[in-house]
Amino acid sequence: MEQRTIRPNPFCYLIGFVVIVAGVGIAVLGAFPIMEVFQAGELRGGGAARMASGAAVVFWGMFVLTMGRIIWRGARRRGWKDRFGRLFMIIALAVVGHALQRFLTSMTFDLESLTEADLSAGYVPFLMLAIPAALLYAVGTKMAKERDDLIEVSTSINM
């Protein structure tokens, strides 16, 4: 029996490419404040807060790039399970990005006065958002039958 090849959806390629390029652009824009802080040598106080804000933008760029990759890879796939799986993956990435941005921008970056309470006030809300998002991402990868090379490598190392 001859297997039918699925023609790729050029719309998914186009949207995926645009989103990937946007993610790279966002990450590059977020790197500028980080470089300015390092060049000025002001790693304490306001400089650290600007650096954390720049890092949050860089992370958003990487999340957007990954969303574009998910859309790009969906060009050769069909079916409602695949589309909903990819949608779950993109929603999960957006939630993790939001949680990470909240964590990075809510911290007080005066290192002399940083306490355990400050840390827990930042990472507890992050974990409350990131853990369900990670589970949603896992469900999405199963539904879309998407391979994740990082998960496969870590599983093969731990076994």
For residue 40, is it within any domain? yes
For residue 154, is it within any domain? no
pLDDT, tens only, 46-102 = 777 788 888 899 999 999 999 999 999 888 878 889 999 999 999 999 999 999 988
For residue 4, is it within any domain? no
pLDDT at 77: 79
Q: What is the pTM of this model?
A: 0.79
Cα(29)–Cα(39) distance, integer angstroms: 16
Q: Residue 39 is part of which domain span?
A: 10-146
For residue 151, is it within any domain? no
Tally of structural domains, the chain: 1
pLDDT, tens only, 129-146 = 999 999 999 999 999 888
Residue range 105-130: mean pLDDT, rounded: 75
Angle (CA) 134-8-153 rounded to 5° is 35
- Quick check: 59 and 103 in contact, CB under 8 A? no
For residue 107, is it within any domain? yes
Cα(86)–Cα(89) distance, integer angstroms: 5
- Quick check: 68 and 93 in contact, CB under 8 A? no
**Residue 81's CATH number:** 1.20.1410
For residue 53, is it within any domain? yes
For residue 26, is it within any domain? yes
Cα–Cα distances in angstroms (integers) from residue 22 to residues 41, 65, 70, 80, 119, in the given order: 30, 7, 14, 27, 32
**Number of residues that make up the chain:** 159
- Quick check: 61 and 28 in contact, CB under 8 A? yes
